[in-house]
Structure 1
Amino acid sequence: MFNLLRDEKKRALLIQASGLFLVLAIFGYLFHNTQLNLEKQNIATGFGFFELEAGFDIGEALVEYWSDDTYLKALWVGVLNTLKVSILGNIFAVTLGVLIGLGHLSNNWLVKKLCRSYIEIVRNIPLLLQLFFWYALLTEALPAVKQAMEILPSVYLSNRGLNIPFPVNTANYGFSLFGFIVALIIFFFMERKRDLKQIETGVAKPLWEKLNYTIFLIPILIWALTGASTEFEIPKLVGFNFNGGYTLTPEFTALFVGLVIYTAAFNAEITRAGIQSISKGQWEAAHSLGLSQRDTVKIVILPQALRVMIPPLTSQVLNLTKNSSLAVAIGYPDFVSIANTTMNQTGQAVECVFMIMIVYLTFSLLTSIFMNWFNKKFALVER
């Protein structure tokens, strides 16, 4: 026993095993105690309620859903709604944050002051208040449905949202979307290869290589070859609401705008700090080689700054995803909102809270795995 304790590796393993056993014992006790208390109150346990009829409507869903569908289907709708606002929100928040960060470093006095004011004001107002502000603006300042503004032909804006024409769902649009994703991936690698070639040779990109952008004709060709349906569903006022087309609801818009504007302020500061961490000699060297300001930022500065920016950006991506749970405050049917409704109707509080924990843990782990992989791509590699 004493020999085991003298060995540093074995001692470390023993301590870790003891800690793991203690944690498992505590969880086992809590689980057993919770189960006994629920049985005393005649509250059923387990996930059998997943197959029961939900009995409530969901105002916004990416997949077809009816009130007589199961709780499992309702929770799946919530997961998709959370993913929608998280993915779109992070894309726009990072893009806007980088642009604001670059503007903060601009030589233009007005642009610099505006960007700095935006960062300082937005970061110091609680996100929940910002969500309430945007929701109130969209629902109170805009006209009622009967007085909806037709801002473009067949495009209506009211306090019920923005109603726009939308293509009739046909199979060729799915093929076109797949073609666009493939074209985007190919374009990314072609641009990356072209930039690396320019760095190695010092020769500017020839004009004909700009034709790489024509790769985005792929989805258009697929659309044309698979029928080229041009039929649109037009929104029409029926009674007290619009039918047809696609509706950007005030709840989604307020949540999306609030999350993007709030998170972009933090991303802007990360961008500014990352760029300022690069020595001025890099700028001067790039300019001496004849690179334009745009190419200097794109080829020389940002690739180096990303090594500093990605770790804190990962935290902000995770923050936006978790902050999307505030959607319940303005009525957007995200996963937390639907899980709360399920919990109130079934009484399965433990299971519903457990599902919320598992879903957000999964989102966080997948995001971390992707961002860590992305970070390794920009890490310094010693030769």
Structure 2
Amino acid sequence: MKAAAVETERRAGGWNEPAFRALAIQVLVLAIVAGVVAFLGLNLVGNLEARSIRTGFGFLWQAASFEIGQSFIPYSADATFGTALLVGLLNTLVVALLGVILSTVAGTFVGIASLSRNPLVAPLATGYVELVRNVPLLLQLYVWYAVLTQMLPAAAAAPKLPFGVYLAKSGLHFPILHSGLWLVLAALFVGMVAAFAYGLLARRRADRFGGPPPLWPRALLLAGLPSLAFLFVAMTTPFDVPRPTRFGFSGGGQVSPELTALLIGLSLYNAAFIAEILRAGIMSVDRGQAEAAAALGLKRGQTMRLVVIPQALKVAVPPLANQYLNLAKNTSLAIAIGYPDLMSIGNTIINQTGQAVEVIAIMMAAYLAISLSISAFMNWYNARVALVGTQ
């Protein structure tokens, strides 16, 4: 009888039908959201017109008329606002990429050290994690910036480090090559392709004949080819060496103290979280896996690399992706120490043009693209790790 009543109610249709009710609710919510967005948009346009503020993106082709302290592409005050935003975006991408690499390396080292049986190493690693995680990142950036700008000597008294490197209040100064870098980059690209191809062949050979594939050929391809290319360029091309003067340095390359402080602060801060993520992932692997690997004759390093870490990554990759997203978004704190990232340059453009809506929209789109790119890569890597682990 109950089933017949339900069938009768379903045939009656209208609001009592679950599918119709769900669709109606979704349409209603969508209409409310569209109405709110339209109201806010009309209100915004009316306020801009009342204050005679121009709208549109035509300002991107106007002269910026301000300098930028750190730029990885040619830039001058005569460049456009669009070029200035591109400089800020590249500065943000460089910090995010280097921060991900450095924090991953440091976090892996600290995470493994926290599991050490050494009575000194493990407490030091745990103390580092607890200290860094519980101090605000902004405060850490202030501390590192103060250390680099107040405790280092001026240019005239800066000590000369090996390879013609100087470390002073103005930053890290080092010799550079003005030509021949394309050969080093080409060698690096060839080495990466060759190492990837070797990895595929070595994995197939290991699946067919057994035994772990050696790592030294891949490391030799990745580091050997670029090193040989760099040595060739260094022997045939003169270096532009930095020279200390009374008021600074002339020649050579420079890494500003703002960039250095930002990289150190972001890397060490996120390394503490990554260390805990990796430690938890390693501890999630059953101890019997390591015991079985030892019974097969694998050394401790081989056991960690071939048995424990591949299984731990299946647990660690999703929270690692979230941490990388946090790192990319935290680069916006660079404005606090004067590093010209996308947020800092965007604020300068807003002050000069008054077109806050357009600039903020550009910055939101840029950060959204960065976050989606990181998410897409980590999702691909997570699927790859999961697929390898289930084979």
In the superposition, the TM-score normalised over structure 2's length comes to: 0.90
What is the letter of the counterpart of residue 99 of structure 1? F
Name the residue aligned to 1:269. Answer: 276
In terms of mean alpha carbon deviation, does 130-139 or 146-155 score higher? 146-155
Aligned equivalents of 1:212 and 1:263: distance in 2? 28
1:110 matched to which residue of 2? 120
1:356 to 347, 363, 382: 363
- Which of 61, 68, 71 is residue 71 of structure 2 equivalent to? 61
- The answer to whether the 8 Å contact 2:155/2:246 transfers is no
Q: What is the CA–CA distance in structure 2 between the aligned matches of 1:205 and 1:343, rounded to whole Å? A: 55
Secondary structure of the residue aligned to 2:95 is helix
Query: Aligned runs of 1:332-343 on 2, under 5 Å?
Result: 332-343=339-350
CA contact (8 A) 2:278 2:316 kept: yes
Q: Secondary structure at the match of 2:13?
A: helix
**Matched position secondary structure for 2:71:** coil
Amino acid at match of 2:60: F
Residue 225 (structure 2) pairs with residue 215 (structure 1)? no
Please state how far the C-alpha of 1:31 moved relative to its aligned partner. Answer: 1.1
Provide structure 1 residue ranges, at least 5 long, that are not aligned to the other structure: none
CA contact (8 A) 1:85 1:256 kept: yes
- d(CA) in 2 for partners of 1:346 and 1:297? 56
Cα 1:7–1:153 change in 2 (3 A) is same
Secondary structure at the aligned position of 1:307 is classed as helix
- Aligned match of 2:194: 186
Q: In the alignment, what sits opposite 1:97? A: 107
Which amino acid is 1:61 matched to?
S
Aligned residue identity for 1:84? V
Q: CA deviation at 1:99?
A: 1.2
Per-residue CA distance 1:294-338 (angstroms, 9 max, x = gap): 111111111111010000000100001000100000000000000
Q: Residue 56 of structure 1 aligns to a residue in which SS? A: coil
User: Which residue in the other structure is 2:255 paired with?
Assistant: 248
Q: How does 1:218-233 map to 2 (within 5 A)?
A: 218-219=225-226, 229-233=236-240
Q: Which amino acid aligns with 1:173?
A: L
Report the 3-state secondary structure (helix = DSSP H, G, I; strand = E; otherwise coil) of the residue aligned with 2:160.
Answer: strand
Letter in 2 for 1:177: L
**The residue matched to 1:247 in structure 2 has which SS?**
strand
The separation in 2 between residues aligned to 1:196 and 1:134, in whole angstroms, is 47
Aligned to 1:127: 137
Kept in 1, the 8 Å contact 2:72–2:90? The answer is yes
Shift of 1:145: 1.9
**Count of residues in Structure 1 that have an aligned counterpart in Structure 2:** 379
Structure 1 118/224 Cα, relative in aligned 2: closer, same or farther at 3 Å?
A: closer
SS for the counterpart of 1:295 is: helix
| SS of structure 2 residue aligned to 1:156 | strand
Q: How many Å separate the matches in 2 of 1:114 and 1:225? A: 42
CA contact 2:88–2:343 (8 Å) conserved in 1: yes
Structure 2: runs of 5 or more not aligned? 1-10
Residue 280 of structure 1: how far off its partner (Å): 0.4
Q: Residues of 2 paired with 1:145 and 1:301: CA distance?
A: 49
CA deviation map 1:146-178 (0-9, x unaligned): 22221235322210011110111x2x4224313
| Distance change >3 Å, CA 254–CA 213, structure 1 → 2 | closer
Once the two structures are TM-superposed, the CA of residue 64 in structure 1 deviates from its matched residue by: 0.4
1:140 is aligned, of 141, 150, 153, to 150
Q: 1: CA distance between counterparts of 2:323 and 2:241?
A: 38
Q: Distance in 2 between matches of 1:248 and 1:316?
A: 26
Partners of 1:109 and 1:200 in 2: CA distance:
42
What is aligned with 1:328? 335
Q: TM-score, normalised by structure 1?
A: 0.92
Does the CA contact (< 8 Å) of 1:163 and 1:247 recur in 2?
yes
Deviation at 1:227, TM superposition (A): 10
Partner of 2:286: 279
User: In 2 relative to 1, CA 312–200 (structure 1 residues): closer, same or farther, beyond 3 Å?
Assistant: farther
* Cα distance in 1, alignment partners of residues 252 and 88 from structure 2: 22
Which one has the largest radius of gyration?
A: 2
Return the offset for 1:340: 0.5
Who is 2:8 aligned against? Answer: none
- 1:118–1:265 contact (8 Å) kept in structure 2: yes
Q: How far has the Cα of 1:12 moved from its partner? A: 3.4
Structure 2 CA distance, aligned partners of 1:312 and 1:231? Answer: 46
Q: Are the aligned partners of 1:195 and 1:299 in contact in 2 as well (CA < 8 Å)?
A: no
1:303 and 2:310 correspond: yes
Moved more, 244-253 or 259-268: 244-253
Is the 1:55–1:68 Cα contact (8 Å) retained in structure 2? yes
User: What whole-Å deviation, never above 9, does each CA across 1:49-75 have from its counterpart, x for those lacking one?
Assistant: 111111110000000000111100000
Given the superposition, is the C-alpha separation of residues 277 and 213 from structure 1 closer, same or farther in structure 2, using an over 3 Å criterion? closer
* Amino acid across the alignment from 1:203: G
Question: Is residue 2:211 matched to residue 1:203?
Answer: yes
- The 1:4–1:167 alpha-carbon spacing in structure 2 relative to 1, beyond 3 Å, is farther
Distance of aligned partners of 1:19 and 1:228 in 2 relative to their CA distance in 1, 3 Å threshold: farther
Q: CA deviation at 1:222?
A: 6.1
User: What CA RMSD, in Å, does the superposition of the two structures yield over aligned residues?
Assistant: 2.4
Instruction: Please give the secondary structure, in 2, of the residue aligned with 1:203.
Output: coil
- For residues 191 and 328 of structure 2, the distance between their equivalents in structure 1, rounded to whole angstroms, comes to 28
1:192, 1:292 → 2: CA distance? 23
